[in-house]
Structure 1
Amino acid sequence: MSIISDALTPMKPPPGDADNQVVIARQAIVDDTRTVLGYELFDRSTSPSQHTADSDAALLFNALSFADTETLVGNKLVFINCTHESLAGGHLELIHPDKVVLEVPPIAGHDPALIAKMAEVMQKLHKEGFRFAFNHTVLTRGYAPWRPLAAYVKLDLMVLSSDKVEAFVQFARSNTNAQLVAEKVETGEQHKLLASYGVKLFQGYWFAKPTMVKALTIRPSQATIIRLINLVRNQADATELEDLLKRDPTLSFNLLRFINASGFGLNCEITSFRHAVMILGMHKLFRWAALLMSTSHSGGPPPAIGHTAVVRGRLMELLTAELLSPEECDNAFTVGVFSLLDSMLGVPMAKALESVELPEPVVDALQHRRGLYAPFLELTEACERGDDAVFARVANALALSSRQVNMAHLQALAWAESA
């Protein structure tokens, strides 16, 4: 689960111990009117020296999982630095290619065989809709196989002298269809010179310094994720998968947040756990679980909070079973199981709910304690704390007998214990 900070802050080193924090730096790529084309993202939760295929996957997962992606990149392009190994990673199947530009570095040693092999990998991704950005090395002789794939070519002004830049610009225009980006532009003179060569896109301190977006994260325990992976590998049916999601609020919250995020590319809102499983399918659900595993730690939220949330969800589902429609019962479960999100995240409920798309009646119950589900939540909490007065008042208003409520509570406790 993720809560994005309200404001972007100037980039500075993240705290030393930040297991529960994701820190993503972004730097704008702009045109000559300073209109933002996109943002290059950098993972500041780890050292740059730890840039690996796994860190690439984690960065994409974290960046594109934010329900409030508007804060991070809006509807702009996302430029992600990739290792060669990560281009073959299954995590790319989980994202919408229209939103991402993959920045690919040159091959160490410029080995022709490796250049050709990597061109084949990128051609497959290109057919799926992914675009690529390369540095100026792609304009040299050995990288001819890569040039037809270039959507963007970056010219590093910290490396290239002004006379070399002009030659590269002319060559790129004649031999690629790529848009040129002058990067590490730090002065007005550099901007003016590159603009005179016809370069239209710019990145650097002259336009915008990197800023950071910080997010607090709560991941499910690794044991729970392993259970999900095993169910998927054994081709469990949707009912079994839904049952596991219902029993772990952090797991279900992460899935709904991810599948509703703009990076996934869906045009409809997913609010049911079963619907989420059906939309993803087994293959992508496995990929998602594997990525979640790689970005999780061995802990998770305090067990007592998660257990209480599960009991609340199941009790609300049982209480509404004979009074509401099946869809409304699903929503009642969601109200109960997410009713402790504020405690799990350590933020007000209104802030917690920014991280996931939920139906308005669910939000009304959780945030404002009003609407269809509010009295069921109030009754559930009265059962939890043994408040006889509230119990009697709300049960009477809902036309539920004490015996009905108590039996449902016992069933909910037993169901949660069997998780």
Structure 2
Amino acid sequence: MTELPASTPADASPAVPGAADRGMIARQAIVNEAQQIIGYELFNRSRAYPDHTAASDVTLVFTALSHAGEEDLVGTKLMFVNCTHESLAGGHLELLNPDKVVLEIPPLGLAAQQEVAARLPILHNLRERGFNLAFNHTVLESAYAAWLPLADYIKFDLSVLAPDHLAVLINYAGRHTRAELIAEKVESAQQHEQASRLGVQLFQGFWFARPTVVRTKLLSPAQQNVVQLLNLVRQQASTDAIEDVLKKDAGLAFNLMRLINSVGFGVQREITSFRQAVMLMGLKKLFRWAAMLLTASRNSGTPPAVGQTAVIRGRLMELLAQESLSEEDTEMAFVVGIFSLLGQMLQLPQDVAMGLIPVPEAVSAAVLRHEGQLGELLILAEACESSDDEAFHRSAGLLQLSSQQINWAHLQALAWTDQLTDSAL
């Protein structure tokens, strides 16, 4: 539960048009004796949340899962998340893969004696769901005896513990718990050597790594589309109806695929279509996710032009793919079209943007190198937008599509997108 100094510098990367810059998240590495990183502790440094609250907890988790920057916040490492007791019962935790998350439980202060027993069922439930729990050294006090068996990690703050007191606490923890011990706020070689000599094997502090601050960004969907998604899920609408809402908003589609394929969500196989994502996630989790996304969405009622173009392109490619490709390839054609403009939407190089989401090789090859039938469909869709007659006729010939088929599909794609957009207003 390390506090970062107010002077910690922020990354100065520019704001991203078309993406909602939701503030900043700081992270600090936790390392083992060999100085290998085993996890990162995350801190919400958004100006919108100057204090640590249940709301800031929800925002931090959502942003960590949906962050669309070049660098993952935690990658495949453990994610240590500071919590308030109010946020521990929040539905946002259902979106996380418990195996990859350590929840840092704060002490109760003067109310400990009365509140320890009352909070115990929630902590038990979190452990049963597979979450790891971390406490600071106050959990070794007698008032917290009921919590002690739940500790997977115990943190010792070297900035407040005298050496002799630290030795007593570490000895007690070693005899009465199975928790891994972390020395935090380690700022010198002497402190590191002392903690290591006492049996501590995990470390956090300036001596190893200073906190880095990442300017986070989310690709925001139009707010009315999120509201429509919430309403459909609440009404237990068909997968087809839910998929249609996802398809009409590039921001909505990207955020769902980013979440469902993230390490934090815990899916063991690659998800290649929105239908798969919806069915795997289930209505309950989808509703919770959309509710959190609503707080991050912009107020504008009109999607940005590049997002609108991506949706039209995806629908056009889907319609043309139905002429000759399998159902699976037709679904991938929509994904290729909508993600072919992902780099522009995020203002990142296209290969970096595509690297944010695991996709089949056929999709990646089509988007990045215009390879295969999906790549040829993408060339054709781009030619329709740019009125490039030479590319249009070459691709149409290779795909054995007539000008009439392509023009009719393009008109249908434009009408479909307009209809779906109007229906949400």
The aligned runs of 1:21-40 (5 Å cut-off) are 22-40=23-41
What letter corresponds to residue 140 of structure 1 in structure 2?
A: E
Does 402-411 or 122-131 show the bigger shift?
402-411
Moved more, 135-144 or 23-32: 23-32
The letter of the residue matching 1:232 is V
Is the contact made by 1:29 and 1:203 (CA closer than 8 Å) also made in structure 2? yes
Does 33-42 or 363-372 show the bigger shift?
A: 33-42
Question: Which range moves more in the overlay, 258-267 or 398-407?
Answer: 398-407
Paired with 1:89 and 1:381, the residues of 2 have a C-alpha distance of: 44
Structure 1 unaligned runs (5+)? 1-9
Paired residue for 1:176? 177
Task: Note if 1:12 corresponds to 2:9.
Answer: yes
Q: Which moved more, 1:369-378 or 1:407-416?
A: 369-378
Q: Secondary structure in 2 aligned to 1:262?
A: coil
Distance 2:184 2:150 in 1: 20
Cα deviation, 1:56-106, whole Å, max 9, x if unaligned, reads 122122223458998433432221110111100011111111111111111
In structure 2, what is the equivalent of residue 396 of structure 1?
397
Question: Is residue 27–residue 209 contact of structure 1 (8 Å, CA) maintained in 2?
Answer: yes
Aligned-pair CA distance for 1:199: 2.2
Rounded Cα–Cα distance in structure 2 between residues aligned with 1:175 and 1:294: 43
Q: CA deviation at 1:332?
A: 1.2
Verify the 8 A CA contact 1:151 1:179 in the aligned structure 2: yes
Q: Distance in 1 between matches of 2:326 and 2:13?
A: 50
Aligned partners of 2:23 and 2:48 also within 8 Å: no
Q: Which amino acid aligns with 1:174?
A: R
Partner of 1:5: none
Aligned equivalents of 2:267 and 2:103: distance in 1?
21
8 A Cα contact 1:67 1:261, kept in partner: no
User: What is the alpha-carbon root mean square deviation over aligned residues?
Assistant: 2.4
Per-residue deviation at 1:149? 0.8
Contact 2:75–2:263, Cα closer than 8 Å, also in 1: no
Partner of residue 4, structure 1: none
- Cα distance change on mapping 1:347 and 1:300 into 2, 3 Å: farther
Contact 1:317 1:332 survives alignment (8 Å)? yes
CA distance in 2, matches of 1:328, 1:309: 18
Match of 1:261 in 2: 262
d(CA) in 2 for partners of 1:339, 1:333: 10
User: Does structure 2 retain, via aligned residues, the 8 Å contact 1:152–1:181?
Assistant: yes
Matches within 5 A, 1:378-389: 378-389=379-390
Please give the alpha-carbon distance, in whole angstroms, between the structure 1 residues aligned to 2:70 and 2:201: 26
Equivalences for 1:232-271 in 2 at 5 Å?
A: 232-271=233-272
Q: Which residue of 2 aligns with 1:324?
A: 325
- Partner residue, 2:285: 284
Is 1:338 the counterpart of 2:339? The answer is yes
Distance in 1 between residues matched to 2:200 and 2:180, nearest whole Å: 8
SS of 1:268's equivalent in the other structure is coil
C-alpha separation between the residues in 2 aligned to 1:301 and 1:346?
19
**Structure 2 residue 412 is matched with structure 1 residue 411:** yes
Residue 96 of structure 1 corresponds to which residue in structure 2? 97
Q: Comparing 250-259 with 372-381, which one deviates more in the overlay?
A: 372-381
Cα 1:174–1:143 change in 2 (3 A) is same
Residues 97/190 of structure 1: CA separation in 2 closer, same or farther (3 Å cut)? same
User: 1: CA distance between counterparts of 2:382 and 2:76?
Assistant: 41
CA deviation after TM superposition for structure 1 residue 278, in Å: 0.5
SS of corresponding position for 1:49: coil
State which drifts further: 370-379 or 266-275. Answer: 370-379
Distance 1:327 1:379 in 2: 20
Structure 1 47/335 Cα, relative in aligned 2: closer, same or farther at 3 Å? Answer: closer
> Is the Cα–Cα contact under 8 Å of residues 22 and 62 in structure 1 kept in the other structure?
no
Query: Counterparts of 1:69 and 1:306 in 2: how far apart (Å)?
Result: 20
1:330 partner letter: E
CA contact (8 A) 1:319 1:408 kept: yes
1:268-308: CA deviation from partner (whole Å, max 9, x where unpaired): 00011000000000011111112222333324985322222
Per-residue CA distance 1:4-32 (angstroms, 9 max, x = gap): xxxxxx95135699651553322222233
1:367 counterpart = 2:364: no
1:100-119 equivalent positions in 2, closer than 5 A: 100-119=101-120
How far apart, in 1, do the equivalents of 2:150 and 2:70 lie? 28
Supply the AA of the counterpart residue of 2:195. L
What amino acid sits opposite 1:357 in the alignment? P
In the superposition, relative to structure 1, how do residues 76 and 334 fare at CA in structure 2: closer, same or farther (>3 Å)? Answer: closer
2:315 and 2:107 map into 1 onto residues whose CA distance is: 54
Structure 1's 401 and 34: CA in aligned 2 closer, same or farther, altered over 3 A? closer
User: What is the deviation of 1:397?
Assistant: 3.0
* Per-residue CA distance 1:226-271 (angstroms, 9 max, x = gap): 1111110000110101111111111111111110111111110001
Equivalent residue, structure 2, for 1:273: 274
2:219 maps to what in 1? 218
Match of 2:231 in 1: 230
Once residues 369 and 17 of structure 1 are traced to their aligned partners in structure 2, the CA distance between those partners, rounded to angstroms, is 30
Q: Structure 1 339/193 Cα, relative in aligned 2: closer, same or farther at 3 Å?
A: closer
Write the distance in 1 (CA, Å) between the matches of 2:65 and 2:13.
Answer: 24
Q: Is the 8 A contact 2:112 2:144 kept in 1?
A: no
Residue 154 of structure 2: SS of its match in structure 1? strand
Structure 1 counterpart of 2:316 = 315
Name 2:423's counterpart in structure 1.
none
Counterpart for residue 201 of structure 1:
202
